[in-house]
Structure 1
Amino acid sequence: MRHRIFLAINLPENVKKKLADFKSKWPDLPCRWTKAENLHITLVFLGSVSD
């Protein structure tokens, strides 16, 4: 299994809720959404590593 390693900032719950509301209003946008509890701001992507 591969893991994506990154440094990120967690978002406040009210921001996650607003983004989830936006997602529900625009389901046909050409993007891949993640679960609201996993939303964050990536500061730097360090790469992928194997187990």
Structure 2
Amino acid sequence: MTRNEDVRAAEHVPYRLLEARAEHDGGDGDPANMLIQGDNLDALKALLT
């Protein structure tokens, strides 16, 4: 795929809100250091906001 094709494909992925999981934050809850598990494109799309 070319970069332009990648950008067009990303535009068709719906926005998803990241869901914080208290059992995975180590009791810190600091969003500056997040571990994001899931589909890469979904996660990156959520981080664009």
Higher helix share: 2
Q: TM-score, normalised by structure 1?
A: 0.29
Instruction: Kindly indicate whether structure 1 or structure 2 has the higher relative contact order, using CA contacts under 8 Å at least 6 residues apart.
Output: 1
Higher strand share: 1
